Each structure stands twice: as structure tokens, then as C-alpha cells.
């Protein structure tokens, strides 16, 4: 991977075209077809551009393409909102980069003291601060307690939850729905790669995971994208047991590369009671990284 994203563009558009059948696109299908999904000419016709122009785009050259053409391609390929945004990110990455872009994107913003205070004031919910590389930069005590297997090595922050998910064998026990959790994480990392194509740390992370994890490599090749905004996630905590928690990703205004992730549960439910038990368990642990028996 590198700053030239032609391969990424080509793979993404080709994979989306292969997913749309002529019937889904409202196109009569005649005779045998050598390719899965739509032909390039059919996508071009649906988008209102020439075959030559669409072929140029699918070969990876999005330089100078207008937003209106990108939206037309997205409609032709029946992309959802996340996929459409991803296509626009790929197009922006293909254009000239403003001066100073590389240094800004490679740097980790300083965490303001107010953010640390905010995390610590969230006493009733697990919460942590994360960047787009899935580095956990800070966490409140309940957040450290929830993610005890991730913090149990005693390594100082930041710790990378993506490495834990794919490279630590305990992750598949900690996440009962590991395949679902891991695959959506890959989709989020792909979005980050399109938004920050000059970040060497991010590219090194993707390369490491591709080399060391067959599952990551397989799901990375699907070109699927995902955004962690809100939803539910299941955990099997080593001390508390099963939890099903609602998560919210809160982007920080002025720190667009950072977000606070919180987890909660309805009071009185098994998971709500589990969070109360987690708080009690956390209070019994030594200050600093949580330690659990593996």
C-alpha cells in the first residue's frame, strides 16, 4: 500500500460492480455473460457517462472527477451511504495533496486535559478515547475494566484494539460474535485508509495484519466498508461473564481524528446488572492496567 490509490479504486469499483445483477439494475440480460454482475458498459449507461470514461475510472484514475459523476456512479452501482462516502474519499485521495498534509495526518493530536476529565467524569459507563488507527489513547476505570484482556499485558497506552482482535487468541473468547466484530472492524479500517492514505503508521498496521492474520487478509480483499457510529456489541468478560452493551461513537469537534466510545445497558437488565458488577469488580483492582486470569 502507498499513496497511489489506483489499486484501491480499481478493486473497490470492480467488487461493487460484481455485486449488482442485471435484474437488480433493471437491465435485460441476454445470452451468456463472462463476468459476474454488470458489464462496464452497463454501468456507464446507467451513470450517463461514456464507456471510455467509466473504464478510466475503474482502472483507478479518479483524478479530477466531479462529485456529480461520483454520485452518478454510486447510484448506478447501488452503493449505500457509507460506500458512497468511501468513493468520494478515494477520489479526494487521488487528487493533489495540500502542503503539510502528510505531516498533519501522520501526527497524533495532543489529548487536551478536558478530554481526560470528561472520561473520568463518565463514572457510570465504560468509555475510552480512540483514533482512526484503533489506538486506545485513554480510558476511564470502567473502560479499562471492560476491556481487561486488552489491558492485561500491562503495556502502557496506547494499545491497539485491532491488533488485539486479530492477533491475540483471547479475542475470540472475549467477543462471542468474533467474526461479526472483526469483519466490521476491517470495514472501518478500510475507510480510515481512504481518508488518511499518507499515514505511514496506519499503512504499517494494515500490512502487519495482512501478513499475520488470514482472516484479516481475506476480509480486507472484499472491499467492504463499515462505520462504527452506534449499535450493540456482545462481550464475554473473564470476571463478569456475558454482556450485551449499546455503544456510541462520539466524534470530537476540533479533533476530527479522535472519538470517544461509550458502552451502556438498560438498568435492571442482565447486562445492566453486569455493568454494576463490573464497577464493583473494577474498584477491587489495583490502580493502573487491569489484570485478569487467562
Please report, to the nearest 10 degrees, the dihedral formed by the alpha carbons of residues 204, 151, 105, 85 taken in order. Answer: 90
Q: Where are the beta strands (DSSP E) in the chain?
A: 127-131, 135-139, 159-160, 230-237, 241-252, 255-264
Residue range 240-286, pLDDT digits in tens: 999 999 999 998 877 878 999 999 999 999 999 999 999 999 888 75
Q: Between residues 28 and 240, which one has the greater pLDDT?
A: 240
What is residue 153's predicted lDDT score, i.e. its pLDDT? Answer: 65
Does one domain contain both 196 and 249? yes
**Contact predicate 191/225, CB 8 Å:** yes
What is residue 46's predicted lDDT score, i.e. its pLDDT? Answer: 96
Q: Which domain holds residue 164?
A: 113-284
Q: Confirm whether 76 is domain-assigned.
A: yes
What is residue 119's predicted lDDT score, i.e. its pLDDT? Answer: 93
Last residue of a domain, one of 64, 96, 128: 96
Q: Confirm whether 102 is domain-assigned.
A: no
Does one domain contain both 34 and 80? yes
Q: Where are the beta strands (DSSP E) in 104-217?
A: 127-131, 135-139, 159-160
Q: Quick count: other Cβ atoms within 10 Å of Cβ 51?
A: 14
Does one domain contain both 245 and 207? yes
What is residue 3's predicted lDDT score, i.e. its pLDDT? Answer: 47
What is residue 155's predicted lDDT score, i.e. its pLDDT? Answer: 64
Does one domain contain both 180 and 41? no
Residue range 181-234, pLDDT digits in tens: 999 999 999 999 999 988 999 999 999 999 999 999 999 999 999 988 899 999
Mean pLDDT of the chain: 88
Kindly state the average pLDDT of the residues 5-12: 92
What pLDDT band is residue 109 in, cutting at 50, 70 and 90?
Answer: low
Q: Between residues 290 and 127, which one has the greater pLDDT?
A: 127
Does one domain contain both 192 and 256? yes
Q: Confirm whether 290 is domain-assigned.
A: no
Domain count, the chain: 2
Does one domain contain both 158 and 216? yes
Q: Which of 17-31, 173-187, 249-263 has the highest mean pLDDT?
A: 173-187
Give the CATH number for residue 22: 1.10.260
Q: Confirm whether 104 is domain-assigned.
A: no
CA distances from 143 to 93, 112, 139, 276, 289 (A): 34, 19, 5, 13, 11
Does one domain contain both 91 and 158? no
Q: Confirm whether 101 is domain-assigned.
A: no
Does one domain contain both 15 and 152? no
Q: Between residues 212 and 108, which one has the greater pLDDT?
A: 212
247, β-bridge pairs? 231, 263
236, β-bridge pairs? 242
Last residue of a domain, one of 70, 96, 122: 96
**What is the distance between the alpha carbons of residues 231 and 179, in angstroms, rounded to a whole number?**
16
Does one domain contain both 60 and 188? no
Does one domain contain both 196 and 152? yes
What is residue 273's predicted lDDT score, i.e. its pLDDT? Answer: 96
- Comparing CA positions, the residue from 133, 87, 91, 61 lying closest to residue 225 is 87
- Comparing CA positions, the residue from 240, 268, 262, 237 lying closest to residue 249 is 262
Kindly state the average pLDDT of the residues 97-123: 72
Q: How many residues does the chain have?
A: 294
Q: Confirm whether 29 is domain-assigned.
A: yes
Last residue of a domain, one of 96, 128, 160: 96
Residue 64 has pLDDT above 80, yes or no: yes
The secondary element (H helix, E strand) that includes residue 271 is helix 270-284
What pLDDT band is residue 4 in, cutting at 50, 70 and 90?
Answer: low
Give the CATH number for residue 258: 3.30.450.180
Kindly state the average pLDDT of the residues 21-30: 85
Q: Confirm whether 38 is domain-assigned.
A: yes
Does one domain contain both 138 and 245? yes
Q: Confirm whether 294 is domain-assigned.
A: no
Does one domain contain both 84 and 121? no
Amino acid at each position: 500500500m502507498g499513496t497511489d490509490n489506483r489499486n484501491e479504486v480499481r478493486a473497490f469499483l470492480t467488487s461493487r460492480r460484481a455485486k449488482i445483477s442485471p435484474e437488480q439494475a433493471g437491465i435485460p440480460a441476454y445470452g451468456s455473460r463472462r463476468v459476474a454482475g454488470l458489464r462496464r458498459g452497463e454501468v456507464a449507461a446507467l451513470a450517463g457517462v461514456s464507456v471510455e470514461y467509466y473504464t478510466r475510472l475503474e482502472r483507478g484514475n479518479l483524478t479530477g472527477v466531479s462529485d456529480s459523476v461520483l454520485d452518478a456512479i454510486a447510484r448506478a452501482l447501488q452503493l449505500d451511504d457509507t460506500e458512497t462516502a468511501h468513493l468520494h474519499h478515494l477520489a479526494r485521495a487521488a487528487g493533489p495533496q495540500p502542503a503539510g498534509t502528510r505531516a498533519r495526518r501522520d501526527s497524533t493530536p495532543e489529548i487536551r486535559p478536558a478530554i481526560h476529565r470528561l472520561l473520568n467524569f463518565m463514572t457510570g459507563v465504560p468509555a475510552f478515547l480512540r483514533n482512526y488507527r484503533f489506538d486506545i489513547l485513554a480510558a476511564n476505570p470502567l473502560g479499562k475494566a471492560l476491556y481487561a484482556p486488552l489491558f492485561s499485558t500491562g503495556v502502557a497506552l496506547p494499545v491497539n484494539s485491532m491488533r488485539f482482535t486479530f492477533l491475540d487468541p483471547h479475542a475470540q473468547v472475549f467477543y462471542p460474535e468474533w467474526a461479526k466484530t472483526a469483519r466490521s472492524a476491517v470495514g472501518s479500517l478500510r475507510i480510515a485508509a481512504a481518508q488518511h492514505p499518507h499515514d505511514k503508521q496506519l499503512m504499517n498496521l494494515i500490512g502487519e495484519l495482512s501478513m499475520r492474520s488470514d482472516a484479516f487478509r481475506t476480509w480486507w480483499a472484499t472491499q467492504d466498508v463499515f462505520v462504527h457510529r452506534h449499535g450493540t456489541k456482545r462481550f464475554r468478560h473473564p470476571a463478569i461473564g456475558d454482556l450485551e452493551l449499546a455503544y456510541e461513537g462520539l466524534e470530537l469537534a476540533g479533533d476530527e481524528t479522535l472519538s470517544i466510545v461509550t458502552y451502556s445497558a438498560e438498568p435492571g437488565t442482565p447486562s445492566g446488572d453486569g455493568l454494576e458488577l463490573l464497577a464493583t469488580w473494577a474498584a477491587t483492582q489495583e490502580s493502573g492496567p487491569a489484570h485478569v486470569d487467562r
